Structure 1
């Protein structure tokens, strides 16, 4: 499925690598590896390639596998999700391999997963569901079409506060209360969205899709994520310190969904621009979409126009 490219393509600093060596894991599902310390502890998962052209997660997962890392305690699962979309990448059309037919990160609803609808993205989600639902914590690594600052995304529940405080950076924290998207994201599936259940699911958007720096961010946040659970040696976590500074927090208020193929942003938003109430955000055919509240903050503007898709999230500073 194509993603409308910006007027000027960004530099492509990272290209897909051959990942066939990682195909055979030990879970009976391709591209999934579970490393067991043999010691008591949590089971945590680091996931990449929820979207096929978001290479930072692939960079971090393969780095952890190549490094020979073994958890100090508990179990560590490393997974690459939408590999079929990854294999569709074409450097001449780098935004066209986000997914094959349906956004893998909008499929996480039991009615859909248990239903009869076929498709490669759904089939892959169905294969991974038992693994995603058995873990105590999930880090889902993503990137953005625009070169916006990295961000940590989690749900505003008490159970997430210790982990988000430990991760600290990225210094933009986005709080996602309820399902704001046109479709349920992975981190809001099942027990991840239950305030009384143990499992945690967080996203880190690591930077622009094709920037080398996004992979560096992904490796660092993966190590800090594992450090929270006491799963890596102190020397390794010390080599990947959090950024200095106080995190800036935003809570998502609503999603803007495109109603027509004529959806156009009023400006080339990059993300985290703060608007006054009434400022023009976009037009959708004859409809004007304006900032509905004071200090309305642009989060993750999409580069792809697809009818019925969320095009931008609107947030308030917390």
Structure 2
């Protein structure tokens, strides 16, 4: 494993004690469902898919502390990989992303129903029936580097009304059916089926430990709930989106490190637009170059692990 950038970022946002929320009402720790008693969708707001991404924790605890309840349908609040969260050490802030396996790369049937007994997979199994109930899922994340916040989703007609309503963050990254090694949560089950109604959306709220990432998470969550009619419009109006029109990108390819000698050609952090043929990385003796003009790097990995995805290559659509 190689860390591409040795310097640690400032840590403005720290974990807080969430033990008060361990006892939920679904028979699974750290899961709370609130039923309005009125017809409507079942919406899930998901925090801590990765243990060191605290902005989702900020948004979910905000909902709990403010006593926000759905006006219609059901609202479920999930703290996902709490075992990883509890391992956070500010001296090594990137070590608590997961315990044994990336919780956001286990959402395929072979893994969920296979022999794997890692902490992260067992937690996924405990939660899978909760996620399967959802009509809509907001999965809240943050990024290793200080890049613009973004929405990430499949390029499917069923999700376009939601992204138009949210609008911000103003960088929209579409997967277009491209699969990561190990399936992410927003591609699990009906979320990844263009013919099924449930939708899954990731918001990347900014750098992991930036105070602003928590603010962005709260704002996007409120507008997400507003789209489904679950909170008073006046509440969502307190979190207006930033002005401007979205910049949309489509993922062309997800690069996976084939060797332990994978090295980026420059200290990329994300959203660099490259000329065709620009050297992106060396993977052992293999050169990896930009396949076309305007090739944009999306979320290059801070830590390089053989066999894991290290960066996505995208083209800008507008």
Superposition TM-score, scaled by structure 2 size = 0.98
Name the structure 1 match of 2:155.
156
Give the drift of 1:180.
3.0
In 2: Cα distance, 1:148 partner to 1:265 partner: 18
- 1:27 and 2:41 are equivalent in the alignment: no
Deviations 1:285-312 (A, max 9, x none): 2221110122100101110111101100
Q: CA deviation at 1:4?
A: 3.2
Give the aligned partner of residue 307 of structure 1: 306
Q: What SS does structure 1 have at the residue aligned with 2:83? A: helix
Task: Label 1:3 to 1:118 Cα distance change in 2 as closer, same or farther (>3 A).
Answer: farther
The answer to whether the 8 Å contact 2:178/2:253 transfers is no
> Where does residue 57 of structure 1 map in the other structure?
56
RMSD: 1.1
What is the 5 A alignment of 1:188-199?
188-199=187-198
Question: Structure 1 residue 36 and structure 2 residue 30: aligned?
Answer: no
Taking a change above 3 Å as real, the CA distance of residues 3 and 63 of structure 1, as seen in their structure-2 partners, is farther
* Cα distance change on mapping 1:87 and 1:8 into 2, 3 Å: same
Shift of the alpha carbon at 1:147? 0.5
- Say if 2:30 is the partner of 1:8: no
Alignment of 1:225 with 2:224, yes or no, is: yes
Q: Is the 8 A contact 2:190 2:198 kept in 1?
A: yes
Structure 1: 5+ residue runs without aligned partners?
Answer: none
- Greater shift, 264-273 or 120-129, is seen at 264-273
Identify the residue that residue 105 of structure 2 maps to in structure 1.
106
Give the Cα–Cα distance (whole angstroms) in 2 for the partners of residues 301 and 161 of structure 1: 26
SS of alignment partner, residue 138 of structure 1: strand
Q: CA separation in 2, counterparts of 1:47 and 1:98?
A: 15
Equivalent pairs counted in the alignment come to 317
C-alpha spacing 1:243/1:56, structure 2 compared with 1 (3 Å): same
| SS of residue paired to 2:56 | helix
Give, in whole Å, the separation in 1 of the partners of 2:235 and 2:279. 47
CA contact (8 A) 2:153 2:174 kept: yes
Q: Distance in 1 between matches of 2:123 and 2:274?
A: 39
- C-alpha distance after superposition, 1:272-292 (max 9, x if no partner): 111011001111222211101
Deviations 1:203-235 (A, max 9, x none): 000000111111111000000100000100111
What TM-score does the superposition give when structure 1 sets the normalisation length?
A: 0.98
Residue pair 1:3, 1:96 contacting (<8 A) in 2 also: no
Give the Cα–Cα distance (whole angstroms) in 2 for the partners of residues 219 and 111 of structure 1: 34
Q: Distance in 1 between matches of 2:196 and 2:46?
A: 21
Report the counterpart of residue 135 of structure 1 in structure 2: 134
Q: What is the SS of the residue equivalent to 2:3?
A: coil
Runs of 4+ in structure 1 over 6 Å off: none
Say yes or no: does 1:88 pair with 2:87. Answer: yes
* C-alpha distance in 2 between matches for 1:6 and 1:249: 27
Distance between the aligned counterparts of 1:279 and 1:5, measured in 2?
Answer: 19
SS of 1:184's equivalent in the other structure is coil
Q: Which runs of 5+ in 2 are unaligned?
A: none
Residue 33 of structure 1 aligns to a residue whose secondary structure is strand
- For 1:24 and 1:143, the matched residues in 2 are separated by 26
